[in-house]
Amino acid sequence: MSGAQSSGLSFPLRSGETCALSGDTLSVGQRTIPLSDLVAAGLVADVSVPTPLGMPPTPGVSLRLSDGGSVAFTPVEQLDCWRLLQALAAARPALATPLPPPPGAYGPATGSMGGPAGYAPGYAPGYAPGYAPGYAPGYAFGYAPPLGYGMGGPTESEKTLAGLCHLSVFFAPVILPLIIWLAMRRSQPYASQQAKQAFWFHLSFAALVFIAAIGMQVYFFTTAFATVGTVGVGADPTSIDLSLLPGIFALYGVMIALGLINVVFSIIAAIQAFQGKPYHYPLLGWLSA
C-alpha cells in the first residue's frame, strides 16, 4: 500500500499533489474535505491519459459533494483508487459502492496470476478486460462514463428542480424551495442545496420588504398625528400634507430596489442551476455547510 499508515491513508497523485485520508477528513492537494460533505464516491476513467489498445483505462476517483460540486483526481498507483474507496466506505458505509476487481486481477501487465500479457483470462486479444466490441472505454469495468473526467454531476431532474426553486421568486418564493429542500435532501442533494439557498434568500428579502412596509405605515401615522392641531382654522380637512410624500416615496423606492435585487440574483442563480453549477447567493455561502 503506497503511503498507507495505521492512522490513515496517503498517496501521491499524478498532478504532483498528495491525497490523504485521516480521521474524518480527506485532503486532496491544498483542499480539505470533511467526510460529512461527501454524498458519493466512485471510480471514473481518466480520459486525459491515453489508453493503449487492449488495456483498461487509467482509473481515477471522483467525489460528489453535498453542495453539488465534484472533485476528481488520479493516483499514481492505480490500486490506491480501490484502497481509498474501501477506506471511505469503512468510514462512511453510505459511500459504499460496488467495485470491479482491482488491476491486479487482469493480466501480467498489471500483476495478474495468468493469461496472456495485458489480457484477462477468457478474453480475446484486442479488447480491454470487460469491454465488448463496439463499446468505448469507460463504460465497462465499473467505471463511470468519461464525461470530461469526473463524476457526471447533477442530473437533468436536479438541474430543473434547482432552477425552478430560484425562479420561484415569481410564483412561490418561499414555499417551493422549502418543499424541495426538505423533500430532496437525501435523493437529490444538488437540488436540495440550491433550494436551501433560494429559500433563505427569498425569505430574507420578504422579511426586508415587510419591515419596509411596516416602517412606511409607522412613518405615515406618526407624521400624520404629529400634524394634528397644527392645521389652521378653516383649513380643508381633506387636504394632503405634502411633507409626507418624500418619506413615502423613499420607502417605496427601498421596496422596489429590494424587489429588483431579488429578481436579478434569482435569475442569475437559475441560469447557473440549469447548467448544473453550484451557486451561492451573496452573503449566503455559509449555507453550503
* Structure confidence by residue, pLDDT tens digits, 203-249: 988 898 888 888 877 877 777 666 555 555 455 554 555 666 777 78
DSSP state, 2?
Answer: T
Residues 187 and 129 in one domain: no
Vertex 52: Cα angle to 120 and 145 (nearest 5): 80
pLDDT of 121 above 50: no
Residues 47 and 33 in one domain: yes
Residues 181 and 122 in one domain: no
Query: Which is higher by pLDDT, 189 or 148?
Result: 189
Residues 161 and 119 in one domain: no
Closest CA to 41 of 3, 72, 10, 78: 72
Closest CA to 237 of 248, 219, 224, 247: 224
In the chain, the number of structural domains is: 2
Residues 35 and 144 in one domain: yes
Query: Which is higher by pLDDT, 162 or 219?
Result: 162
* Residue 120 near residue 108 (C-beta atoms within 8 A): no
The single residue listed with the C-alpha cell 476513467 is 45
The single residue listed with the C-alpha cell 491513508 is 9
Residues 143 and 180 in one domain: no
The single residue listed with the C-alpha cell 412596509 is 213
pTM above 0.85, yes or no: no
Domain final position from 123, 152, 181:
152
* Residue 266 near residue 166 (C-beta atoms within 8 A): yes
Residue 105 sits at φ, ψ, to 5 deg, of: -85, 0
Residues 59 and 75 in one domain: yes
Which residues constitute the domain of residue 16? 4-152
Residues 93 and 132 in one domain: yes
